[in-house]
Structure 1
Amino acid sequence: MAQETAPETLVRAGRAVIGGAERPASVRLRDGLVVAVGAYDAAAAGAEVVELADDEVLLPGLVDTHVHVNEPGRTDWEGFASATRAAAAGGVTTIVDMPLNSIPPTTTVAALDAKRAVAADQAWVDVGFWGGAVPGNVADLAPLDDAGVFGFKCFLLDSGVEEFPHLAPAELADAMAEVARIGSLMVVHAEDADEITECAHGAAYRGFLDSRPDAAEEQAIALVIDTARRTGARAHVVHLSASGAVPALRAARADGVDVSVETCPHYLHFDAATIADGATALKCCPPIRDATNRDALWRALVAGDIDLVVTDHSPCTVDLKRQETGDFADAWGGIASLQLGLPVVWTGARERGVPLAEVVRWMATAPARRVGLSGKGEIAVGADADLCVFAPDQEWVVDAAALHHKNPVTPYAGRTLTGTVRATWLRGRPVDLSGPPRGRLLGRGMRRGVAR
């Protein structure tokens, strides 16, 4: 008896971002993979045809390598079910979860196993995991690497949660030497505590901003560069806010130091002068700076000095934002934006004449390549058939209560954005948020992840 052939799908798009450029195309899908990329009018040859509308663009699924899911331990802040649903609704098909603010943090293999156990049955998109580097756990890094984490996150100052302490400079050097030995990646929250002053209580945003000056990032990034140079480790600086650090990063790379850097949608969208007193939904560390700095971040992105854009989705419960008092000293520092990253960045890019293909490079291709996610972040033969159907001209107003984030707290509430995600496909099939989740748990070195 002849074996039944798996059904194929042919997606026709008048506009598709493929190979770093936008063009008409047809994309053939089979068994969860892209098996052909051809002309728009390529023969269907028995495949089911899906034709995008004239106002839609076919993108690869986005890859967000900076997401705090917080489960287990702080699942009331966010969890794998709500986070991955939000990701899918925002065109994100792969996330990599940070090792904090879950309890326990992902600093041992046992903690990683616990996190994978709770994620396994409630992931609507694919999920990978970072390990954590904290004082005293250098011996845990190689076992975590063997278990498939994509690298290690550390802090150079108080992380905000007591169960994830920061590394002193000598501890950073020891951890990075081990990361170099095992061929992994060190991901660093780079702020220098010696440059930071205590934030005075009150509703004035300026007081919070002044407490965390540009110099705090610049000094810490200089330490990361120097340590990477001495140890030979690969390093990545997360959530760059201070544009003044860009020249040092550029020079280090020119000298052969393997260091990359990301920024986030909120640093590209907001500016300090327009943050109202008491607007604690906008508290994050490092802080949002002035418009001149924001524009410099955009220039660095376009020039290639900043490698990628990810959300640093760091949600919390409503009460922890202290909106009733507006006290920046007491409020939790973190911004919820996982579902909104693409339209936020595209809104700013479009205003500046930056093509959509560049946004795709920053938010899909570059994150996947930096962390070694083979087959993600691009529409190419052999890649996972992870797709995003995006309407780049459609304007809409953010309703926090309508988002899939667990808590309706986001500084984008009421903002008009341009571009909306109309569908997200995971391994060749549209994500159905009313059906069972189909996401897989990924590990470094696993080509297709662990099948559910």
Structure 2
Amino acid sequence: MAADTYDVVVRAARAVVDGREQPVTLGIRDGRIASLDAAQPWDLVLADDEVLLPGLVDTHVHVNEPGRTEWEGFDSATRAAAAGGVTTVVDMPLNSIPPTTTLAGLRVKQQAAREQVHVDVGFWGGAVPGNVADLAPLHGAGVFGFKCFLLPSGVEEFPELDAAGLHAAMTELARHDALLVVHAEDEGELGASPHGVAYAGFLASRPARAEQVAIDRVVGTAAATGGRAHVVHLSGADALPAIRAARAAGVRLTVETCPHYLSFVAEEIGDGHTEFKCCPPIRDAANRELLWQALADGDVDLVVSDHSPCTPELKRLDSGDFGDAWGGIASLQLGLPAVWSEARRRGHDLVDVVRWMCEAPADLVGLRRKGRLAVGHDADLCVLAPDASFTVDASTLHHRNPVTAYAGRTLTGTVRQTWLRGVPVDLDGAPRGRLLERGEA
């Protein structure tokens, strides 16, 4: 095929393709990858220290717009995503007002996003008490699945499901083969959230057993209904034996963890440092290594950010009170270097990182043209300098508020370019992202 049949040709001596690192000459036509061995001339040649990756897919992002746009919004969130090599985001249904628990709520969210997104964006629906009748219409409108909580979510407009509500929601979703994603902590296993600056007190109030008990409930409900379940932000490795057993028994269960659980450890979190507060919490160093081993073994399927920002005031940085502070870590722009920094120390390569952060998230939600450098896929690209290091300055991030647990941390792996559907993303230019629906070809 003649070179002039491509809109652009990108040459990379190193690229992650089909489970290995290899050279590619990427021919792009109409926003998609048309060839992995295109003829010259080359329009772009990556530098010797750069590796071509697929654009990352982050299926766990709280954008918060509309309603709490002062926490984060579609413009700032998707700029941050693009700066971090993320080309597809799936937005969580809560923290915005209204939440995405009805078709009307979805339409409000889509309208708010439509002219602002710098990367492609899809949406989760929500499963809350009393909205079983809303699940089918939301599914039909193209949400990628449904999020629920098994304990209070922290916002009154998104209440938790009890055991009967979980069973009812999963029964309805099984009829449509729709995915239910679950914040799995059991309220009955929690201690009172203590006020004060001691991280140890906060950690003790949310023990790993709370995750174990809730995951057991999810497993039992999925087994009884035949539904598909996904556990979000696993922090406690004690739940891994139950997860393995459920899968061996044929339960349709997938699991994610997050960069902060793979990067930080409780022993290193100083008192009053509420920027590290998240739920479930960051646990000890031995637990972190068990999570890494679970990723290596395939017991944990994917790594996504759980980007959950808020205003500095809500983080209670002035008082350092873990009882009052909002729980959530802002990390959308930093997920790739955070994971790569820790992965390479443990002998993992970029093929592993692509599997965890590109391929598996795309597969989870059925994005058939995302997450891989493959013919027919969208030409969503991340140009990474894997050996280049930088120190995180929160004030330079594109997140709306300059608060992150990674501030001052030196990370390895610099994103130098991000391409969306065959065109470099210009963070100062007009947004070119699209709103996605489940099942798009």
The residue number in structure 1 matching 2:48 is 54
Matched, 1:236 2:230: yes
The residue number in structure 2 matching 1:24 is 23
Contact 2:11 2:42 (8 Å CA) reproduced: no
Matched, 1:403 2:397: yes
The 5-angstrom pairing of residues 4-403 of structure 1 reads 8-38=7-37, 43-44=39-40, 48-403=42-397
Residue 25 of structure 1 and its aligned partner are, at CA, apart by 1.3
Residue 395 of structure 1 and its aligned partner are, at CA, apart by 0.7
Q: Which amino acid aligns with 1:155?
A: F
Secondary structure in structure 2 of the residue aligned to 1:285: coil
Q: Which amino acid aligns with 1:32?
A: G
Cα-to-partner distance string for 1:428-449 (whole Å, 9 max, x where unaligned): 00001111000000000122xx
Contact 1:8 1:48 (8 Å CA) reproduced: no
Q: 1:74 to 1:140 in 2, by over 3 A?
A: same
Cα-to-partner distance string for 1:14-56 (whole Å, 9 max, x where unaligned): 1100001111111110100000112xxx522xx5521000000
Cα-to-partner distance string for 1:374-432 (whole Å, 9 max, x where unaligned): 10000000000000000000010000000000000001000000001000000000001
Secondary structure in structure 2 of the residue aligned to 1:445: coil
Matched, 1:416 2:410: yes
Structure 2 CA distance for aligned equivalents of residues 166 and 60 of structure 1:
36
Unaligned runs of 5+ in 2: none
Contact 2:329 2:404 (8 Å CA) reproduced: yes
Residue 8 of structure 1 and its aligned partner are, at CA, apart by 1.8
Contact 1:6 1:31 (8 Å CA) reproduced: no
Q: Which amino acid aligns with 2:198?
A: A
Q: Which amino acid aligns with 1:43?
A: A
Residue 7 of structure 1 and its aligned partner are, at CA, apart by 5.1
The residue number in structure 2 matching 1:450 is none
Structure 1 CA distance for aligned equivalents of residues 361 and 194 of structure 2:
37
Residue 138 of structure 1 and its aligned partner are, at CA, apart by 0.2
Residue 6 of structure 1 and its aligned partner are, at CA, apart by 6.9
Contact 1:130 1:153 (8 Å CA) reproduced: yes
The 5-angstrom pairing of residues 436-451 of structure 1 reads 436-447=430-441
Structure 1 residue runs of 4 or more that deviate by more than 4 Å after TM superposition: none
Structure 2 CA distance for aligned equivalents of residues 429 and 203 of structure 1:
47
Unaligned runs of 5+ in 1: 448-452
Question: For structure 1, which segment, 227-236 or 47-56, has the greater mean C-alpha deviation from structure 2 after superposition?
Answer: 47-56
Q: Which amino acid aligns with 1:432?
A: D
Structure 2 CA distance for aligned equivalents of residues 221 and 132 of structure 1:
19
* TM-score, normalisation: structure 1: 0.96
Residue 199 of structure 1 and its aligned partner are, at CA, apart by 1.5
Q: Which amino acid aligns with 2:432?
A: R
Aligned residues: 438
CA RMSD of aligned residues (A): 0.9
Contact 2:6 2:27 (8 Å CA) reproduced: no
Structure 2 CA distance for aligned equivalents of residues 23 and 78 of structure 1:
38
The residue number in structure 2 matching 1:434 is 428
Q: Which amino acid aligns with 1:8?
A: D
Q: Which amino acid aligns with 2:206?
A: R
